[in-house]
């Protein structure tokens, strides 16, 4: 999923490790989210958006995702 996490994190002056500590995940997890190798759970995405002081859809760009959702895959994709 596309995201602007790095932008928001850097604007807050946080390192990946600091953000990870605030939301309860490792620095590696934050890096994987920023590089779009890992899609966070909705709860982790929510926690991150709260730290960034903005709506979840400003950090995580759901409409731009090229990956198909599980629901789309089970229906044969669109």
Number of domains observed in the structure of the chain: 1
What is residue 77's predicted lDDT score, i.e. its pLDDT? 59
Positive or negative, the Cα torsion across 48, 27, 25, 63? positive
- How far, CA to CA in Å, does 42 sit from each of 13, 60, 76? 24, 10, 24
What is residue 35's predicted lDDT score, i.e. its pLDDT? 96
What is residue 72's predicted lDDT score, i.e. its pLDDT? 66
Structural domain harbouring 43: 2-74
What is residue 75's predicted lDDT score, i.e. its pLDDT? 75
Mind listing the pLDDT tens digit of every residue in the chain (78 residues)? 899 999 999 999 999 999 999 999 999 999 999 999 999 999 999 999 999 999 999 999 976 455 666 666 777 755
- CATH code, domain with 33: 1.10.260.40
What is residue 24's predicted lDDT score, i.e. its pLDDT? 98
DSSP code for 39: P
């Amino acid at each position: 999923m596309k995201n602007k996490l790095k932008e928001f994190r850097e604007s807050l002056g946080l390192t990946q490790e600091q953000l990870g500590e605030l939301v309860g995940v490792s620095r590696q997890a934050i890096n994987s989210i920023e590089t779009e190798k890992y899609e966070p759970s909705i709860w982790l995405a929510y926690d991150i958006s709260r730290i960034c002081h903005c709506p979840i859809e400003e950090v995580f760009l759901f409409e731009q995702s090229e990956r198909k959702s599980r629901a789309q895959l089970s229906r044969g994709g669109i």
